[in-house]
Structure 1
Amino acid sequence: MKGTPRSKKKTTAPTAHRLARLAAERAIERKAKDVVILDLRSLSPATDYFVIASGTTEVQVRAIADAVIDGCEGLDVRINHIEGYQARRWVLLDCIDVVVHVFLEEVRDFYSLERLWGDASLEKVEG
């Protein structure tokens, strides 16, 4: 009807846990291995969740990171900072409440974030 204000469709940002799940799911779509979500809410004021995933090659690490980036863009989630994208050994995607770490397997083994954050509850995500 002409002259009647239309309500604009509002898109709501996903909760931090939902964003972590979506990032994990996007990683799994690219055949990431050992995908986990660490709940850091009671341990760190810097972020709520880590999503950690592994790739077997540098090409796969970049493909996983790209899939997560595309998923964030599709939800209008701003990625505050990206680190390691060119090197493709450890790509970090900082979405403030969720930080995604995509590792080459041997790099993940070396840094062992799950052990470093051993007090965090760990959720395994499988495809």
Structure 2
Amino acid sequence: MTSYEQAILAAKAIDSKKGLDIQVIEISDVSVLADYMVIATGTSSTHVKALADEIEYKLDEAGVSVSHIEGYRSNTWILLDYVDVIVNVFSDEARKFYDLDRLWQDGKPVDLTGIID
């Protein structure tokens, strides 16, 4: 599975659990960290955790194991590291505070029209 397919599968998993403001950003040209950064927002700490669980479940089902998870106990920002894809699930307040959308603005946003609702 390519890194693009992993990022899209993560976005679909987030969308299936009603995650908000889903962004997939191609960062391979601006960073060596990963190929794609996925950013989304949950409506509560329980929702943030549920989104992270769904992402991990769907990617694991597709044969892609998470390399590392950070923030699972805080439930305001959970980071799932899939080596070539980094998924960030935030509470609304944490997303505004850390502002990763601005930080990765030099990356190329992936058009999710027709991929997610």
TM over 0.5, shorter chain: yes
Specify the alignment match of 1:27 in structure 2: 14
Tell me the matched-pair count.
Answer: 114
Structure 1 counterpart of 2:85, one-letter code: V
For residue 54 of structure 1, the aligned residue among 41, 46, 51 is 41
Q: Tell me, what secondary structure is at the counterpart of 1:93?
A: strand
Cα RMSD after superposing both structures: 0.9
1:32-111 matches, cutoff 5 A: 32-111=19-98
Q: Does 1:16 pair with 2:23?
A: no
| 1:45 CA drift (Å) | 1.0
Change in Cα spacing, 1:59 to 1:124, as seen in structure 2 (3 Å) is: farther
Per-residue deviation, residues 72-100 of structure 1 (Å, max 9, x unmatched): 11011121100001111000000000000
Q: Deviations over 1:18-51 (max 9, x none)?
A: 1100000000111000001010010111200001
User: CA offset at residue 123 of structure 1?
Assistant: 2.4
- Could you tell me which residue of structure 1 aligns to residue 109 of structure 2? 122
Q: SS at 2:93's partner residue?
A: helix
TM-score (norm 2): 0.94
Identity of aligned residues (%): 38
* 1:6 corresponding residue in structure 2: none
TM-score by structure 1 length? 0.86
Q: Structure 1: 5+ residue runs without aligned partners? A: 1-13
CA distance in 1, matches of 2:110, 2:30: 16
**Runs of 5+ unmatched residues, structure 2:** none
For residue 86 of structure 2, what is the amino acid of its counterpart? V
